[in-house]
Amino acid sequence: MVNSMTGFSTLTGNIENVFWALEVKSVNSRGLDMRMRFAEGGEVLEPFFKASLAKAVKRGAVNVNLRVEKRANGASLQVNDDSVGAAITAIKHIEHIAMQKGHTLAPTSAASVLKLPGVCDGDGGAVNADTLIADIKEQASTVIKAFTDSRAAEGAAIGKVLKAQIDQVDTLTQNAKLAAGERQAFVAEKLRENLGLIMSNATDLDSARVEQELALLAVKSDITEEIDRLIAHVQAARDLLKVKGAIGRKFDFLMQEFNREANTLCSKSGSTELTRIGLDLKTVIDQMREQVQNVE
């Protein structure tokens, strides 16, 4: 089971004339990094959300954003003259400092002043903060589930891509095995020809040293171990796709192993066909690595 580290969900609600909007989103990260951004008074929710999300996800940079807005209910607004005066004085002071430093601020509108805390009150009465917090907590499970569902849906799509890429690696590995068998006879024949030329044109050769050199050449050109390890890595990758939970780190390590074997195969190839297969392997492995970067 593959989960992505990228996800998003949002939920809105209200109690009387107080409206709230909760957003949870995440992107790739080496570990689990949670950042909370709450409206004033909502900071008390931070431990709750951190604990809830830690149970739901294991990796990713997760951002939680809570906005709260109080809206007039259609009747009258009571303007607090003292608060308005204090707000205007503060705005003028800020504008004066900005001008001294060579900055020009955008004009402040009356609508902007109305949104400042304490400037005006609607006639709907105040909503108890504890009631609001309780309402958000009660519905938190809904938004978190939608968030994890979105990560699971994207993960399923990544899993399909990875499965197809693993199949490609498997096919290329089998092709390399066949090409290596065909190359073996060719290499052996060339060695015999070259050795015959050397023996016919040289005297006092150390036969033991010649045998050692030939054995060393054979070992350097043998890719049996690389093929066997690639086959084992293919099976390990297929097994990982079936594992529940966070598999991204293990998959990332496995990609390094895939790449190491493909590099060695290319360096030992000794034939155009094996080199082509090795380069194709490296291309697919690089594509797999890009997908794995998204896996939880």
Q: What is the pLDDT along the chain (296 residues), one digit of tens a residue?
A: 899 999 999 999 998 888 999 999 999 999 999 999 998 888 899 999 999 999 999 999 999 999 998 876 655 567 778 788 888 888 888 888 888 888 888 888 877 777 777 766 654 455 678 888 999 999 999 999 999 999 999 999 999 999 999 999 999 999 999 988 776 666 666 666 666 666 666 666 566 655 555 555 555 567 888 999 999 999 999 999 999 989 999 999 999 999 999 999 988 887 888 899 999 999 999 999 999 999 99
CA distances from 259 to 229, 264, 289, 290 (A): 11, 9, 9, 13
Alpha carbon 269 to its chain's center: 34
- Sheet architecture: strand order including 18-27: 7-15, 18-27, 60-70, 32-38
Instruction: Kindly list the distances between the CA atom of residue 198 and the CA atoms of 76, 84, 149, 185, 192, in Å, as whole numbers in the listed order.
Output: 107, 102, 70, 20, 10
Give residues with Cβ within 8 angstroms of 54, minimum separation 6: 32, 34
The beta strand positions in the chain, using DSSP E, are 7-15, 18-27, 32-38, 60-70, 78-79, 120-121
Amino acid letter for position 167:
D
Nearest to residue 254, comparing CAs of 162, 154, 177? 162
Phi–psi pair at 64, nearest 5 degrees? -115, 125
Q: Check the CA dihedral 150-248-293-261 and report its sign.
A: negative
Q: Is the pTM of this model over 0.85?
A: no
